[in-house]
Structures are given as structure tokens and as C-alpha cells.
Chain A
Amino acid sequence: MNIIEMKDAVRFFNHTPAVTGMNLSVPKGCVFGLLGENGCGKTTSIKMMMGALIPQEGTVELLGVDPVGMAPEIRSRVAYVADDMALPNWMKLKEGMEIHSSYFPNWDKAKTMERLEGHKLNLSQTYGELSKGQQRRFILTLALAQQPEVLILDEPASGLDVGVRREFLDTLMELANEREVTILLSSHILSDVERVIDHVAFMKNGKLVQQANLEDLKSTVKRLSFSAAPDEAALGNRFNVVSTTREGDAYQAVVDDFAEDKLSDFDCQVEHFNLEELFLLFNAEEAAERGA
């Protein structure tokens, strides 16, 4: 079952395209990374998932229903954290929490107090007195306290230093392990998210260029390095070659349907990609065109 489903979603701002034909399926229980450079349409897509923006074409479903005008009973099952989310600086944490909790029937007070204590957050402090890292932790604590089935995080750790980012993502990992929560995480800091996500989607210029299980992607997308150029036709017959590079005699081919048994008589070294390399690969212009 897919928790989030976008089909051919299109959204323009005036005449500027932000998202152009987005198709996305987020399976239940996964930690899903929506990755792309700044301005590629991640936030617009997320806002459409949340019902804050209405697609001009196509459809969006969250928990099986249109998120626009979603009933509060269903919306309460979804938590959302964005990087620029904030409480008023003058507001005490206690009051922010009281207002927030009044909207949720399943508010987990005991666990929330435990988390706040763990984060060394004092409820008598005002939001403005907290450091940026503490503010982020408090916002995430509020989101987790509602015991969501779906947690949507839009660049949740941007602007935080490395240590705080790591701690933040660890909290997410704990949550994903504790309960079956579907997490959608958008980010452009790939080294961070690689540790936590199990599904990935790459966006470029308002389009989805690739969506897959991360482990599947890593096991099928490989770089084959040959010391001498192989028979390109034979290679092409055996694999789906995404790109090739040649430097002197050395020859490299990137394939996206790698399987050990297909190699047989080819004499080459198989190189693995990490998330950042996969991102660069799928973010190349030709990949974007392929996605179109």
C-alpha cells in the first residue's frame, strides 16, 4: 500500500513551472528520501502532498485521500516539519506544547516529557531563548508527540551544524525503529540522509528522474571499468548502458541493470556508487531528459 501517491502532478507559479508531471509512490513503513538540488521542486511537491498547494494538473493522495480539505481526523495522522517552521519567539515552550497538543487526541505526553528532558529543554523557556538546534529538536518533538503514521520532513536539518544534524537524524532512526512510521525526508545534504533512508527519489527541474529502493539501486547501478575498450555492441546487448567515458585505453561504462551473472566473459572491475554519486549520475542533464 502506498501512503503518498502523486500522478502527473503539475504546479506553476504564475508562468514559472515548479513541478512538471511528478509521479511518486511512497510505500508504507519506509524512510523515503526525496532528493534534489535547491529549487528543483521538492518543497512544492511536499506542499502539494500536504494540501497546502493545489496541483493544477494531476492528482495527489495522502493516506488514500485528497489532502486538500482533508478531514482533521485524517490530518492528525500526518506530522510535518520544515526548516523554517517556528513558534513565536515570545512563546513559552509549555504554552506552545499546550496549544499544539489540544489538536491531537493521541498526544503522547509521557514520551514527550521524556524526549524534552533528553534534549535538555526546559518548558519555562521561551522559543526565542533556544539555539537553532534546540528549536529544531523542539519542533521535531512536537511532531513526534502526536504519534503520526506519516512524518514529512522538508529539509529538516538544513542550517544545523554536523553534530546536531547527526543527533537529529538519530532521533528519526529511533522513531523508525520504534514504530511503523512512514517517513518522507527531503534534503540536499546527501551524506546525512544516506544513513537513514531505504527508498530514494531524485528530482531535477520539477521532475522525478529516478525512484527506487536504495539497496536495489546500489546493487543494479554500477560502473564497469575496463583496461581496454570492450566490444560495445556486446556490452550493450548484455547491459543497459547509461553512459560511457574513455580515457586513453581505459574505458568506463555505467550500467543500471547490473547482475553478477551477466558479466561472465567481460574482464572488468565493478565499482559501487554511494548515494552522492548516484545523485550526480541521475541529476545529469540526459538523465533528466530520460525522466521526461
Chain B
Amino acid sequence: MTPSEFYSPRNQFLREWRVLWRAFGTDVLLGGVYVLIGFYSMRTLGGSQVYDVVFPFIIAAGIAAYLTYGIRKSEMNGNTAPFYFNLPRTRMRAWDAQMAFLVTAVIWLEVVIVVGTYLKLGGAGITPIYRLYPLAFCVPFAGVGFALVFLEINHSKMFLFAYSAVLLFCVVFFIMWLITGAWGTAHEDNNYLPERNYNTSAHITFTVGVLVTLGLVIFSNRSRWRDRELGEIQ
């Protein structure tokens, strides 16, 4: 194998993934257990069971933020063992592997939520949560986005201004989501389905908006990382 084959993007990606899995794999697996516990930690006795399903999404967001912070903070500060050991890494591939790892971790948590919802509400209970609160799906991804923004701001206060609009946007959306969705109109009598005046398209628009914002945050984070790796003086 030639050196360029040995250090091909694929091989470098797999090496990074292996290190990430060893360092954070247990946290990701345990995260699934914490999410399941979430199904039983905010009971709304006498109210709709759909509310029970909201809390696991918030726990999943917390876990996603924790993982993002843990993985990216060390990398940004040059404190990871692979960096400190001067291992021949490609740090842009490291960023790609880390994001892929985080997205996979969030998808794993989402799958746990789907299974948990099925167990908790039965087969018919899965649909309402996603129809009533499509934004719920984004909340764990938002955890990743918030942690990335926080780390950028922490690294350079200059980004506080740049990201303040993004932060405001996310906070407003989250509050609107809570008001209009999470504490909304679903109940047993209507089988947790949207009522006639329930604005599903507004929720879907919110969701798309949040996903686009998250995409921009991640894209901006990658650009910042690339600039730094190409020689920005810190």
C-alpha cells in the first residue's frame, strides 16, 4: 500500500471514527437508556400521554449537546490524545468524522425514541407525535448546533454578535414550538390528532426553518475550522 493509499480520505475517516467510538461509544449507548428513562420522568397524570414523549426529545438534545461539546472542545483546544501525540491525521477528515459520528448518535437516539414511543403509546401513538410536533425531531439536532455555536463563541467572543441572530431565531422557534405544539391541543378524545384549527403547515415550516438554520451553523463551523487549519493566527 502506498502512503497516499494508506492515508486516503476513507482510511483517515475510519481511523477517526474508531477513536471516537472508543472514547464516546459508551456515552452514546448509555444515552439511549437515559432517553428511555425520559419516558417516565415527566408524567402528566390525567393529561395526554403524548406529553410523555416530548421529554425524551429534550433529553436527547442534552445528550447530543454533551457529546458535541466533549468531542469538539478538545479538538479545538488541541487537547485530544491523537492531536497531542502528533498522529498523522487530516484534521478536516477529523471534523467530517466527528460530525458524522454526532449525526449517527442523534439518529440512534431518535430511533430509541421511536421504539420507546411505540412501547409507551402503542403503534397508533407514533404518528401523532410527529404530526403534531414535527419540530420535536429537530430538537436533538439543535443540541448539536447549540453546542457548536457555544464553542465558537467561547473560542472567540467576536462570534457572539455573528451568532446572536441565530441563537435568537432558535430560542424564538423553541418557545413557539412549546406554546403551539408541546402544550397544544392533543388529547385522548381526538386520538392525539391535530384539531381542525391546528396549523400543521406552520409547524412544518418551523421545522424546515430550524433544519436549514442548523445546516448553516454546521456549514459555518466547518468553514471556520478549515480556515483555522489553513493557518489563521489564533
Contacts and interface: CB of A to CB of B under 8 A. Distances in A.
Instruction: Categorize the interface residue count of chain A.
Output: 20 to 34
B87 A103 contact: yes
Interface stretch (B11-19, B49-57, B201-209): B11-19
Contacts of B229: 68-69
A88 B74 CA distance: 14
A75 B7 CA distance: 11
B15 to A, nearest CB: 5
Interface in A69-102: 69, 71-76, 78-80, 82, 85-88, 95, 99-100, 102
Interface stretch (B78-86, B113-121, B155-163): B78-86
A85 B84 contact: yes
B234 interface: yes
Interface in B1-35: 1, 3-4, 6-7, 12, 15, 18-19, 22-23
B230 A72 contact: no
Contact of A76 (B88, B232, B234): B88
Contact of B12 (A50, A72, A88): A72
A75 B231 contact: no
A118 interface: no
A72 B89 contact: yes
B165 interface: no
A56 B233 CA distance: 7
Interface in A49-75: 50, 52, 54, 56, 68-69, 71-75
Contacts of B84: 82, 85
Interface of A: 50, 52, 54, 56, 68-69, 71-76, 78-80, 82, 85-88, 95, 99-100, 102-105, 142
Nearest to A12: B233
A75 B88 contact: yes
A88 B86 contact: no
Contacts of A85: 84-85
A227 B154 CA distance: 66
Given A82-B84, A87-B81, A142-B85, A73 B18 contact: no
B223 interface: no
B4 A105 contact: no
Contact of B85 (A71, A80, A95): A80
12 contacts: A52-B78, A69-B230, A72-B7, A73-B4, A76-B7, A76-B88, A78-B86, A88-B23, A100-B85, A102-B15, A103-B15, A103-B88
Given A78-B86, A82-B84, A105-B6, A54 B234 contact: yes
A73 B81 contact: no
Contact of A79 (B22, B78, B86, B233): B86
Given A52-B78, A54-B233, A103-B89, A95 B6 contact: no
Nearest to A82: B84
Instruction: Categorize the interface residue count of chain B.
Output: 20 to 34
Interface of B: 1, 3-4, 6-7, 12, 15, 18-19, 22-23, 78, 81-90, 229-234
Nearest to B92: A69
A256 B19 CA distance: 53
A68 B227 CA distance: 12
B81 A88 contact: yes
Nearest to A70: B88
Nearest to A78: B86
Given A68-B231, A73-B88, A95 B22 contact: yes
Contacts of B22: 95, 99
A72 B85 contact: no
Contacts of B87: 75, 100, 103
A63 to B, nearest CB: 12
Given A73-B6, A88-B81, 6 more contacts: A69-B229, A69-B230, A73-B3, A73-B88, A103-B15, A105-B1
A87 B19 CA distance: 12
Contacts of A79: 86
A73 B234 contact: no
Contacts of A74: 88
Contacts of B18: 99, 102
Contacts of B88: 72-76, 103-104
A87 B81 CA distance: 7
B1 to A, nearest CB: 7
